[in-house]
Structure 1
Amino acid sequence: MSELRTTPLTAWHSAHGAKMAPFAGWEMPIQYEGILVEHQHTRAHAGLFDICHMGEFLISGPGADAALAKAVSHNLATLKAGRCRYGFILNEQGNVLDDCIVYRFGDDDFMIVVNAACAAGDFATLRARLPESVSLKDVSDDTAKIDLQGPDSLDVLEALTGENFHGLPYFGFVKTTWNGAPLLVSRTGYTGELGFELYVPSTGALAFWEALLKDARVKPVGLGARDTLRLEAGLPLYGHELDDRHNPAEAGMGRMMTSEADYVGKAGAREIRQCLLGLELEGRRAARNGDAVLLDGREVGVVTSGSFAPSLGKVIAFAWVNKDAADATTFTIRAARAELKAVKTEIPFYKDGTARKKLV
């Protein structure tokens, strides 16, 4: 087994009592005080997440715009400088190799942020799809990504930096500095709450992390609560809801596929074979990844993610269900020790998040 990779903050996590575990080849914090406490604190105040394991690539040079538009599903024609957009790297069949965010710095100048488990494959895929005249540089090792999420995140960030970010739109970003080093402030997030993804040089990650935690409104949050927060917000996770066997339309994201470019996988990106459904379960027992979904006794799908939802006081789940069964409203989930009743429900599960809150 290969040795786990570490972030610039791994030693801090261990020193401060975090429960550590492997994730996508990295040693990552799962929880500090506990998933429930960290989840609720992020919903009410501000949580701080070490996301340094993610991959960051810079793409630039003459023709980068047109070339990248053929390599990813994002509509770059409508993406302005200072804005970023969620989308996909697809395979030839139109299924998802990874979901990612593209940042536009200029006409032919971009950054793309990818999932840790997919980073090496994504880089190789993009390099094969982009002409040699377009520069593709992996800056992941030099870049630290720290996410500040929650209703108090704006006030915390402005207090620390002395800058005004009230004009930053959802999925907008700005470049600035902190302590003389570059700081990219991006308003995106994965929790359903108002939040910012903060990119700093790896060498300055610890100082920035500790400075943010000096604010009493901020607590460190592990990947455990990050998962319950994103599930409540109805956001898919690569390797669970998204994979190379399903396309964006099946995941309910066909509306995002507006690019007119002839990108790889475009022809197959809308064929519906299964549908990603949100389910609400009776009782307190959660369904788990891999549990079978039944309709009238026959197996019609599989659970991808399931958890008790602390903000809702109920159990929720995502599941892939065959197209011919997706219109049903009630299902049975065959869990390890019981059969659980489930009802189809709207996504997002949690509808009171502050992510899209107007700041001006």
Structure 2
Amino acid sequence: MTQLQDFGFGTQIRKSPYFDATVRWGAQGFSVYNHMHIPRDFGDPVQNFWNLVNDAILCDVAVERQVEVTGPDAAKFVQMLTPRNLSNMAVGQCKYVLITNAHGGILNDPILLRLGENHFWLSLADSDILLWAQGVAVHSGLDVTITEPDVSPLQLQGPKSGEVMRALFGDSIMDLRYYWLREVELDGIPLIVSRTGWSSELGYELYLRDGSRGDSLWERIMAAGLPLGLKPGHTSTIRRIEGGMLSYHADADINTNPYELGLDRLVDLEMDTDFIGKFALQRIRDNGVERKQVGLRLGGAPLDGPNTTFWTISHNGNCVGKVTSAIYSPRLDQNIALAMVSAECCELGLELEVMTQSGAVAATVVERPFYDPKKSLAASALAQTV
């Protein structure tokens, strides 16, 4: 059995409430995300992918730290942070949002949860939005309190995740809609459950509200799920690239704007409310962008793992962009990638050249997402589980 002390980045990198459980269940490697350990290796990543798309996996994603915004002006403050129009967001609803700075650059792409009229969580990607939000609040003139609560999410993802949820919570959980949340308890463990996740498959996130119960929650879910095919796992790079899902710091960063990513739907420049970056985004929209994200199909031998550096993209001998995320998809039997290229090189079918760590390979611009573009699997009415 792997010893717990084999993994360590120092005391400044926190361990999640599920850390010991993940090691017991086979975690073999960790990386750092939001200043915390995150399991990245449960053995074969290809088998992890098949476990996800055929059955279900349980992932420790406590690194998705929550920024909690409360107070009389909470709704107004949260709208200030994002260009997405939140005026129709109901209590109990979740939304995928972007957080932008004054230049229109993306600081994070969290899931926003509305727990109450004046109670919000931002479930973060990998950047320090707690500090940003607290800094914005200082001179905002708004009456808000911004904290990091004792909340640690798990992801239960895959086509059999609904069956596992039914085993845990009964039939009543089956009517939880895509991108909605519910407050529940499991054996006295306080949770928020949402129909969300980072897999493009049917899935749920279970937000533990008492870190002392992490081990108990993990074991309870695995005990209920094992007879249904549930396996411990980690977020799948293969599946998230197939689904065209962004990884912050790779596919987007502070120098990337929503229009470059084709995320215009998350920007409402016509709403009366001001938000940080509104004027910059108006200029970007009016002037157009110089680069855009595209999907690529790469030639060459199957990649034996994701890229660990940005790969240069050339057209007619000129550098026109970079590959941000690349992987071999065993389901599609091809190398696929997300890339940022100059705006004149976005035409579908355009032939490019990519310099990988193994040398130059041919690449073709293709549609993205690469699989299930309408996210019918994630948004399904659970027909496959009832």
Measure the CA separation in 2 of the matches of 1:50 and 1:8.
Answer: 9
Conserved? CA contact 2:25–2:232, under 8 Å: no
Deviations 1:129-151 (A, max 9, x none): 75452121211xx2120000001
Q: 2:244 aligns to what SS in structure 1?
A: coil
Q: 1:133 aligns to what SS in structure 2?
A: coil
Measure the CA separation in 2 of the matches of 1:156 and 1:16.
Answer: 18
Count of residue pairs brought into register by the alignment: 356
Deviations 1:254-312 (A, max 9, x none): 12213622110122234522101110112334473411011111000011000111221
CA RMSD of aligned residues (A): 2.0
Q: How does 1:1-360 map to 2 (within 5 A)?
A: 3=11, 4-24=13-33, 25-128=35-138, 130-131=140-141, 133-139=143-149, 142-200=150-208, 201-214=210-223, 215-216=225-226, 217-223=229-235, 226-258=236-268, 260=271, 261-269=273-281, 270=285, 271-286=288-303, 288=307, 289-327=309-347, 329-351=350-372, 354-359=377-382
Measure the CA separation in 2 of the matches of 1:166 and 1:275.
Answer: 39
1:78 is displaced (CA, Å) by 1.4
Conserved? CA contact 1:81–1:105, under 8 Å: yes
In structure 2, the CA distance between the partners of 1:28 and 1:106, relative to structure 1 (3 Å rule), is closer
Q: 2:128 aligns to what SS in structure 1?
A: helix
Say which is worse superposed, 212-221 or 262-271, in terms of deviation: 262-271
1:192 is displaced (CA, Å) by 0.9
Say which is worse superposed, 339-348 or 319-328, in terms of deviation: 319-328
Conserved? CA contact 1:71–1:130, under 8 Å: no
Conserved? CA contact 2:56–2:161, under 8 Å: yes
AA at the equivalent of 2:359 = A
Deviations 1:212-270 (A, max 9, x none): 112222111124xx222211111111001110111011111012213622110122234
Measure the CA separation in 2 of the matches of 1:129 and 1:198.
Answer: 34
In structure 2, the CA distance between the partners of 1:158 and 1:130, relative to structure 1 (3 Å rule), is farther
In structure 2, the CA distance between the partners of 1:76 and 1:118, relative to structure 1 (3 Å rule), is same
AA at the equivalent of 1:317 = A
1:119 is displaced (CA, Å) by 4.3
AA at the equivalent of 1:88 = L
TM superposition score normalised by structure 1: 0.93
Measure the CA separation in 2 of the matches of 1:349 and 1:29.
Answer: 26
Q: 2:72 aligns to what SS in structure 1?
A: coil
Conserved? CA contact 2:130–2:147, under 8 Å: no
Q: 1:151 aligns to what SS in structure 2?
A: coil
1:359 is displaced (CA, Å) by 3.3
In structure 2, the CA distance between the partners of 1:125 and 1:35, relative to structure 1 (3 Å rule), is farther
Conserved? CA contact 1:67–1:131, under 8 Å: no
Conserved? CA contact 2:20–2:215, under 8 Å: no
Q: 1:80 aligns to what SS in structure 2?
A: coil
Conserved? CA contact 1:87–1:100, under 8 Å: yes
AA at the equivalent of 1:304 = T
Conserved? CA contact 1:104–1:111, under 8 Å: yes
Q: 2:336 aligns to what SS in structure 1?
A: strand
Q: 2:353 aligns to what SS in structure 1?
A: strand
Conserved? CA contact 1:20–1:27, under 8 Å: no
Measure the CA separation in 2 of the matches of 1:318 and 1:129.
Answer: 38
Conserved? CA contact 1:14–1:20, under 8 Å: no
In structure 2, the CA distance between the partners of 1:129 and 1:255, relative to structure 1 (3 Å rule), is farther
Q: Is there any run of 5+ residues in structure 1 with no aligned partner, and where?
A: none
Measure the CA separation in 2 of the matches of 1:28 and 1:77.
Answer: 34
AA at the equivalent of 2:382 = L
Deviations 1:69-107 (A, max 9, x none): 112223210111111101111111001011111111233
Q: 1:175 aligns to what SS in structure 2?
A: strand
Measure the CA separation in 1 of the matches of 2:75 and 2:40.
Answer: 38
TM superposition score normalised by structure 2: 0.87
Q: Is there any run of 5+ residues in structure 2 with no aligned partner, and where?
A: 1-8
Measure the CA separation in 2 of the matches of 1:231 and 1:150.
Answer: 16
Identical positions, percent: 26
1:108 is displaced (CA, Å) by 2.2
